[in-house]
Structure 1
Amino acid sequence: MLFMIFTTAERSFNILGQSATTLFRRHSYQNKVAPTREGARLIVRRLQKTVLRVLRDPQINFAMSKTAYQQNQEKEPPVEETQFAQHRKNKQENNCRTCNDFKSWSKQQRLISNTQASKEKHMAVAEKLTVNANNVAPRDDCPLDKVRLGISTWGLLHTMAAFYSDNPTDNEKRDMKTFFEVLSRLYPCEYCAKDFRSDLDVNPINVNSQKELAMWLCKFHNRVNDKLGKPLFDCSKVNERWRDGWLDGSCD
């Protein structure tokens, strides 16, 4: 049947005219034959020979098809490798539930949950400790630091000067001098004690009367305040502060 079709096509070439050239142009280009009437006849003859070979030996067609299929398989990799292999690999790396048995997946989820819970608990405890440290006032029965020790010491010294005798005896003068000298050596803050001794060498203590001792101590305290950048006290009011109380009666 195919032989008759191609024979009829060749015999009808004169009827097809110029359109036959266009019809066979693509096939003639592939076979490197010029698109003329003689070229078209040549193409038809070649097609006839091909059909006859196929009709005589069908295995030729099967071999050609198999060879073409193998070439296509070599050129195009399997769909699984190109489209799904990377996706499956990512799933396995992520250890998703669908890629593992339920026991392994459940164990992993518990580990993740426990780690996150432990981290959140640690952060909450740290935050609570910080808030408590900022809001809780220090206890009154804790050991004295440098500031509280200094405040207590100044209070003691000013009160001793406030109640010192207006006409002290020689023993009282000697005892007061000795007290300040010993205190400058035994004061718990080492560099404070050293500064205390240096100031005593430059400005010796005045123990001739209560007023003179109180004024000397007030000036000594102001020198220390000046070094620390604190405001100075009005020494004319030293007895109001440490002995008599303020004139407005606020301490009565």
Structure 2
Amino acid sequence: MRMLFMIFTIAERSFKILELPITPTLLLRRQSHNYGYDYTSPTHIELSREATRLVIRRLQRTVLRLIRDPDFIMSAEANPEMDKEHQESPFAAHRKAGASGAGKQDSNCRTCNDFKSWSKQQRLISNVQSAKVKHMAAAEKLTVNAAEDLPRDDCPLDKVRLGISTWGLLHTMAAFYSDNPTDTEKRDMKTFFEVLSRLYPCEFCAKDFRTDLDVNPINVNSQKELALWLCKFHNRVNDKLGKPLFDCTKVNERWRDGWLDGSCD
């Protein structure tokens, strides 16, 4: 094909230096048929040359098209008025649809690629799919392990969870204690703490609770005094456990009113 293209190119250039024979070729006769050319006239000779150049250029375009696209149908170039459905082959239509959709040929089309390229693409696709499967399996395993590490909500309380729940109950009771309690309310609150220090499920914690009550008696004269006493008691326990201390001036924000920034609203 490339050799033919070179021949046609040389033939076209030759018209610039060669004289047209008196007896025209079949090619010129076909192009000038029924036009009444006088092949001895210089004007008609020049017109014949131009017509021949046009034919050769058309042949060049056809050859180039064949080189670039082996599936090109010559009848489409020769007969532009042919129905469109007869101009395109199924393979050309497939490529055209691929170009309009994705901008490139289907990488998984074995008929559009040589076997070596197709095999390489298949391996790449397989590797990507395998990597996705492994990633999903690893993520699922991590999720399952994380779920297994979390404690169940319906299990018996351990020492830590029991302490958190107890502190929540005590601070909430102190937060909603009366500002002007009656003698009965004062007596009931004192009794509650004394009983709790004896019946608390953690024996070591209960003993430490009773010792602290003896050293720092409970103050039940008002809501503010009870909440402040309990906050200091909690800080003494936190200090023994090496935990940070709480600012007792904000005890009612924490357990009754909510934080001033409105984050608890």
TM-score in terms of structure 2 length: 0.45
* Larger helix fraction of residues: 1
